[in-house]
Amino acid sequence: AACSMGNSTSRLYSVLAKTLSSGAVSQHQDCLEQLDSAQLDPLDPKDLLEKCQIVLQKRPPRFQRNFVNLKKNTASNHRPIRVMQWNILAQALGEGKDNFVQCPMEALKWEERKCLILEEILAYKPDILCLQEVDHYFDTFEPLLSRLGYQCTFFPKPWSPCLDVERNNGPDGCAMFFLKERFELINSANIRLTAMKLKTNQVAIAQTLKCHETGRLFCIAVTHLKARTGWERFRSAQGCDLLQNLKNITQGAKIPLIVCGDFNAEPTEEVYREFSNSSLNLNSAYKLLSPDGQSEPPYTTWKIRPSGECRHTLDYIWYSQHALNVNSALGLLTEEQIGPNRLPSFNYPSDHLSLVCDFSFNQDPDRLL
The per-residue pLDDT for 354 is 98
CA atoms within 13 A on the CB side of 353: 29
Task: Decide if pLDDT at 187 tops 90.
Answer: yes
Residues 236-275: tens digit of each pLDDT: 999 999 999 999 999 999 999 999 999 999 999 999 999 9
Task: Decide if pLDDT at 28 tops 70.
Answer: no
The per-residue pLDDT for 36 is 55
Which of these ranges, 10-24, 71-85, 162-176, 351-365, has the smallest mean pLDDT?
Answer: 10-24
pLDDT tier for residue 363 given thresholds of 50, 70 and 90: confident
* Mean pLDDT of the chain, nearest integer: 89
The per-residue pLDDT for 38 is 52
Question: Closest Cα partner for 328 from 63, 64, 62, 66?
Answer: 66
Length of the chain: 369
Task: Decide if pLDDT at 369 tops 60.
Answer: no
Query: Parallel, antiparallel, or unpaired: how do β-strands 173-179 and 67-69 relate?
Result: unpaired
User: What is the average per-residue pLDDT within 54-76?
Assistant: 88
pLDDT tier for residue 96 given thresholds of 50, 70 and 90: confident
pTM above threshold 0.85: yes
Task: List the domains of the chain with CATH numbers.
Answer: 79-364 (3.60.10.10)
The per-residue pLDDT for 17 is 52
Specify which residues 222 forms β-bridges with: 205, 260
CA distance 62 to 300: 18
User: What is the average per-residue pLDDT within 219-244?
Assistant: 97
CA distance 321 to 255: 12
Which of these ranges, 95-109, 214-228, 276-290, 320-334, has the smallest mean pLDDT?
Answer: 95-109
Question: Closest Cα partner for 238 from 285, 193, 198?
Answer: 193
Who's near 173: CB < 8 A, 6+ residues apart? 134, 135, 137, 154, 155, 156, 157, 160, 203
Containing H/E element for 128?
Answer: strand 128-134
Type of residue numbered 144: L
